């Protein structure tokens, strides 16, 4: 058991990131440039629609123009890629976000890879993944970038620590594993085929939960003093970590909501501003 664990406040970290954007957005405005994020939503899945709305509202609050493209559920891969290509060619659009997941009949990887590298502000392309693995991505995947931002903001040590990542998705588990490794952590990536998962988690100094199952990580899995980062978001505002049971063991832990989520959106905004500034080069 640990006394008085640190609650890692994502709203606080996100506010710090957004504060640093204000002056940059003003300087772009002086040059006649308004950063613009185009978001594509295929279908009408309620959770995805909510995420898109939240991202649009966040853009509007900081002075980023938000363009939303809604496509019917029966949109083909070819039609979706054609829409992405139009946005790639639009000089007024600086960032493109394809809301994940898309309907199953669409080749999601082909659609992601159709996004121009210069506009891949969500870090979803194959080339972007490779750059992230080598440690020089302009736009790393936003949720992994948010996790790293939280660790940095609270000055939590990564170098030399054993990090266990639960999840191996190409836009969360795999990239955050690479980012932790690049910061000199020893990383174990676990997944649905991992046997004796609890054994690996109990050895971790840093636990990243990105498995997509509500309250999956239990308190008796947590090594006393570990840092726990919950990247899950399930119906009912429930994370992948059983917060109450993990709280007594963790030295620091993110809540859900108000943990990784707000920082993910703040990183998306930052990347969009970064992309707009590249137009000045």
Catalytic residue flag (residue 55): yes
CB atoms within 10 A of CB 117: 14
Alpha carbon dihedral 245, 247, 252, 255, in 10-degree steps, equals 80
Could you say which of 9, 18, 99, 119 is catalytic? 99
> 240 near 232, Cβ under 8 Å?
yes
Tell me which residue of 156, 155, 174, 178 sits closest to 166, measured CA to CA.
174
**Measured on CA atoms in the order 153, 156, 161, 164, is the torsion positive or negative?**
negative
**Strand, helix or coil at 120?**
coil
Tell me which residue of 264, 48, 38, 254 sits closest to 142, measured CA to CA.
264
**Rounded CA separation 21/267 (Å):** 10
> 11 near 262, Cβ under 8 Å?
yes
Could you say which of 9, 119, 120, 122 is catalytic? 122
Catalytic residue flag (residue 122): yes
Cα–Cα distance list, 44 to 70, 106, 232, 235, 265 (Å): 9, 15, 21, 16, 21
Could you say which of 18, 55, 161, 223 is catalytic? 55
**Strand, helix or coil at 100?**
coil
Catalytic residue flag (residue 270): no
Q: Is 252 left (phi over 0), alpha (psi -120 to 50) or beta?
A: beta
**Rounded CA separation 87/121 (Å):** 13
- Known catalytic residues are 55, 99, 122
């Amino acid at each position: 058991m640990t006394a008085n664990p640190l609650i890692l406040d994502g709203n606080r970290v996100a506010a710090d990131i957004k504060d640093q954007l204000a002056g940059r957005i003003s300087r772009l405005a002086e040059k006649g440039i308004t950063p613009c994020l185009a978001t594509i939503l295929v279908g009408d899945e309620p959770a995805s629609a909510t995420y898109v709305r939240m991202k649009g509202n966040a853009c509007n609050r900081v002075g980023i123009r938000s363009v939303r493209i809604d496509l019917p559920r029966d949109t083909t891969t070819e039609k979706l890629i054609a829409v992405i290509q139009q946005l790639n060619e639009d000089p007024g659009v600086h960032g493109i976000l394809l809301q994940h997941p898309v309907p199953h009949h669409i080749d999601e990887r082909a659609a992601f890879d159709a996004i121009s590298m210069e506009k891949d502000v969500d870090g979803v392309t194959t080339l972007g993944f490779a750059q992230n693995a080598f440690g020089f991505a302009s736009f790393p995947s936003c949720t992994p970038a948010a996790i790293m931002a939280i660790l940095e903001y609270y000055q939590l040590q990564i170098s030399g620590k054993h990090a266990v990542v639960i999840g191996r998705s190409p836009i969360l588990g795999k990239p955050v594993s690479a980012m932790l490794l690049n910061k000199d952590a020893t990383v174990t990536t676990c997944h649905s085929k991992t046997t004796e998962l609890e054994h690996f988690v109990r050895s971790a100094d840093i636990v990243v939960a990105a498995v997509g199952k509500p309250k999956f990580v239990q308190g008796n899995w947590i090594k006393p003093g570990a840092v726990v980062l919950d990247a899950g978001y399930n119906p009912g505002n429930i994370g992948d970590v059983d917060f109450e049971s993990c709280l007594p063991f963790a030295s620091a832990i993110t809540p859900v909501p108000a943990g990784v989520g707000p920082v993910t959106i703040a990183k998306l905004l930052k990347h969009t501003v970064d992309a707009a500034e590249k137009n000045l080069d």
